[in-house]
Chains A and B, each alone.
Chain A
Amino acid sequence: EPEVTQTPSHQVTQMGQEVILRCVPISNHLYFYWYRQILGQKVEFLVSFYNNEISEKSEIFDDQFSVERPDGSNFTLKIRSTKLEDSAMYFCASTRRSLEGYTFGSGTRLTVV
């Protein structure tokens, strides 16, 4: 069964450093998302992406965050200057059509020290 692949599975970074989290969505999917889950808290929406542009973003997704789909295959989330509170599990997801169930990746655990 097709999967959403995320790399790395775990990333440790120093506060203030830039990180790029990578995702390979399912190939025929058109809608892409990033969510995050701080330990012990709810899964939170960050951003949705369709037709090579952001369609929705949450208040969490401030100027420190950006997304790209550089080559029609990868979908990346960049955090420019990480803060301690950015430590979380980051999930990528994709859907073929809007308003259908999402396929999530296994996540990247980001630890900011």
Chain B
Amino acid sequence: SQQGEEDPQALSIQEGENATMNCSYKTSINNLQWYRQNSGRGLVHLILIRSNEREKHSGRLRVTLDTSKKSSSLLITASRAADTASYFCATDAGGSARQLTFGSGTQLTVLP
């Protein structure tokens, strides 16, 4: 089974609009993290939400987590052209499983 699947696979919006990306996962988690990757570059940690949290904010980012539905969403408000990148959710099961399981990502394009 696939863990951490994002939708949509690709999203194109105008500058100033909000972008919402969703992530679903299948197993229990300790936390869920969102990362950003510019083309051919490394992954940049954006935000971490723990399994006992429902919502978290950081600047223009808002993340929600629904553990009953095993889903999370990332909202970027007032998007900018510089937000163009791939966005990945990654689940951390905690315990002895010291690894992140990444989804396939959403390619966000913000048009100026």
Contacts and interface: CB of A to CB of B under 8 A. Distances in A.
Interface of A: 31, 33, 35, 42-45, 48, 50, 55-56, 58, 89, 91, 93, 98-107, 109
A53 to B, nearest CB: 12
A24 to B, nearest CB: 14
A36 to B, nearest CB: 11
Contact of A43 (B41, B43, B92): B43
B73 to A, nearest CB: 18
A33 B45 CA distance: 15
Contacts of A91: 42-43
A44 B104 CA distance: 10
Given A42-B104, A99-B30, A50 B98 contact: yes
Interface in B57-112: 88, 90, 92, 94, 96-105
Nearest to A102: B45
A104 B99 contact: no
Contacts, number: 59
A43 B88 contact: yes
B102 A44 contact: yes
Contacts of A103: 45
A55 B88 CA distance: 24
B31 interface: yes
B102 A42 contact: yes
Contacts of B98: 31, 33, 48, 50, 55-56, 98
B45 A104 contact: yes
A48 B99 contact: yes
B33 interface: yes
A107 B40 CA distance: 9
Nearest to B99: A45
A43 B102 contact: yes
Contacts of A42: 102-105
Nearest to B88: A43
A92 to B, nearest CB: 9
B41 A102 contact: no
A100 to B, nearest CB: 7
